[in-house]
Structure 1
Amino acid sequence: MSAVEVSGVTRRFGTVVALDDVSLEVGHGELVGLLGPNGAGKSTLLSLVSGQRRPDAGEVRLDGRDPRDPRARTTLGLTPQETGLPATLRVREVVDFVGGHYPDPVPTGELLDQFGLDDLGKRQTGSLSGGQKRRLAVALSLVGRPRVVLLDEPTTGLDVSGRAALWDAIRAYHASGGTVLLTSHYLEEVQALAERVVVIDHGTVLADDSLAAILRRVGVRRVQLTDGDGVRQEHLVADSDAFVRDLVTSGTRFSDLEIRGASLEEAFGQLVAHGNEGALR
């Protein structure tokens, strides 16, 4: 049984097709990054998996059950893009309240310590900064010891240290056997966390593969060198070996040659640019 199974799902909002015959399977213990531009259908897909919406066609299963079944959602943790926290409740009270909906919640003090919120336990949530609220929102998704966690842009608005702390928490949850499906506009975030990448655009899946395979499929290499005038140059090429051979045979003077694979950002740009042409079908 898969942790998440989406089969032939279509979802419309009026005349807009947000998802068009999408199929996706996430196994237990996977950490999958969901990438796509604004309006691609990422958040819509998560809303179907979490049971907040129903598909117009197709089927969604969470641990083998309809996600609208409350029994299925007891195994689910969720951080939406925007979280409405009761402004007058204290941080510790919010964690206690949400944890009370689960049979075996993480102790409040332990959770607050893990997310660096222990000194904020007596603060009202309305007085928290945007980054502090975001950390609390992700913490709440893990309070019930879920088997599956859906994270929609989990580190939006966080500074570098806050983002690193959340990355550590996500890695720790995944290392314990948890399943993670996350969306992010920070492409380096998906590259740092995900084992598998699903690229969506215009409501369709353009690519679904391991992170390494996505980068290999694009075939772009970044070549940096210093020319004869001491100017540092950078080239994106499909065949770095041929590029270097041409440099050598042409007698071009260069030094400090550096070649590396494409970043996920470069891969993502090419996947979206060429996906509608069927280049990756």
Structure 2
Amino acid sequence: MEAPAVRLSGITRRFGAVRAVDDLDLTIETGAVVALLGPNGAGKSTTISIMLGLVPPGTGTVALFGEPAADAVRAGRVAAMLQDAGFVPGATVRDVVELARALYPRPLGTDRILATAGVTDFANRRVDRLSAGETQRARFAFALAGDPRLLVLDEPTTAMDVAARQQFWTAIRAYAADGHTVLFSTHQLHEADDVADRIVVLAAGRIVADGPPARIRAMAGVGTSARLDTAFLALTTDGPDTDGPDTKTIETEH
């Protein structure tokens, strides 16, 4: 049996007196598109950083495709598009893509990367002369270069205009349909509703709901036609029950 794309077991991480991640268990099977949601300070970015091996957990274990995160990243099985990723100022978008391709054993072709990320029209422009939305798309191209089996996206559509967002999510759907796994965090809840097979909601470092969008609404006690924002607020305003098992966590159907 193939190992899951992600398995986090008993992950805890403190920053001083603040417990950013609180005994978190999360398994993501291969081929899934999963949205990680939560209010500011819920632990989303810390969870992603631990998953990618950028921050060590205080307790718990991390496995990506059955191996340590660092090994999976080094082998090119995992890549990420992070909000604070920077580029060499004088490089062009094409230079950045070629650099990324050189890091991996079986990279995608340059033209395919540029087209998928929607950066072909400005591939020869310097990255320090891109708009904020164009920079996001260049980060996407960099993340795609190694054809990763797991693609992790942290607030990927920040600063993108409507057309760029639509193109981006169309590319993500096609990438996932080809058997890849995608995990993304976003504050744009309609994007999660439209794209994700599964939504994981964090509050105070714990998972408070986990399942397809329809079941997230059901757990929140809102109607099937309600906006996901309404369910999200119902699930996160009071936070998880700390006196016992989390009654808002639900099992995911496979």
Settle same-fold status: TM greater than 0.5: yes
Q: Which residue of 2 aligns with 1:239?
A: none
The answer for the alignment partner of 1:280 in structure 2 is 248
Distance of 2:134 and 2:192 partners within structure 1: 21
Comparing 73-82 with 157-166, greater Cα deviation is found at 73-82
Indicate the residue corresponding to 1:270 in structure 2: 234
Instruction: Give the structure 1 partner of residue 151 of structure 2.
Output: 149
Q: With CA pairs under 8 Å and 6+ residues apart, which has the higher RCO, 1 or 2?
A: 2
Aligned-residue RMSD, C-alpha: 1.5
5+ residue gaps, structure 2, are 250-254
1:68 partner SS: helix
Equivalent positions of 1:89-100 (< 5 A) are 89-100=91-102
Structure of higher CA gyration radius: 1
Q: Does 1:122 align with 2:90?
A: no
Q: Distance in 1 between matches of 2:144 and 2:217?
A: 31
Which of 67, 70, 73 does residue 68 from structure 1 map onto?
70
How many residues align? The count is: 243
Amino acid at match of 1:211: P
Match of 1:261 in 2: 225
Instruction: Kindly provide the CA deviation profile for residues 27-66 of structure 1, in whole angstroms up to 9, marking residues without a partner as x.
Output: 0001111000111100111111111111110101111111
Scaled by the length of structure 2, the TM-score of the pair is 0.91
Matched residue, 1:48:
50
Give yes or no for contact 1:9–1:22 (8 Å, CA) kept in 2.
yes
What corresponds to 2:28 in structure 1? 26
Q: Distance in 2 between the 1:102 and 1:209 partners?
A: 33
Provide the C-alpha distance between the structure 1 equivalents of 2:66 and 2:41, rounded to a whole number of angstroms.
28
Q: Which has the higher strand share?
A: 1
Q: Is the 2:189–2:228 Cα contact (8 Å) retained in structure 1? A: yes
Displacement of 1:13: 1.3
Which whole-Å deviations, capped at 9, do the CAs of 1:115-170 have from their partners, x for residues lacking one?
A: 22112121111111111000111121111111001100000011111111110111
Going from structure 1 to structure 2, the CA distance change for 1:119 and 1:66 (only over 3 Å counts) comes to same
Q: CA deviation at 1:73?
A: 4.9
Alpha-carbon contact 2:204-2:240 (below 8 Å) kept: no
Q: Secondary structure at the match of 2:61?
A: strand
Percent identity of the aligned residues?
40
- Write out per-residue CA displacement over residues 227-281 of structure 1, whole angstroms, 9 at most, x where no aligned residue: xxxxxxxxxxxxxxxxxxxxxxxxxxxxxxxxx6212111101010244346525
Unaligned runs of 5+ in 1: 222-259
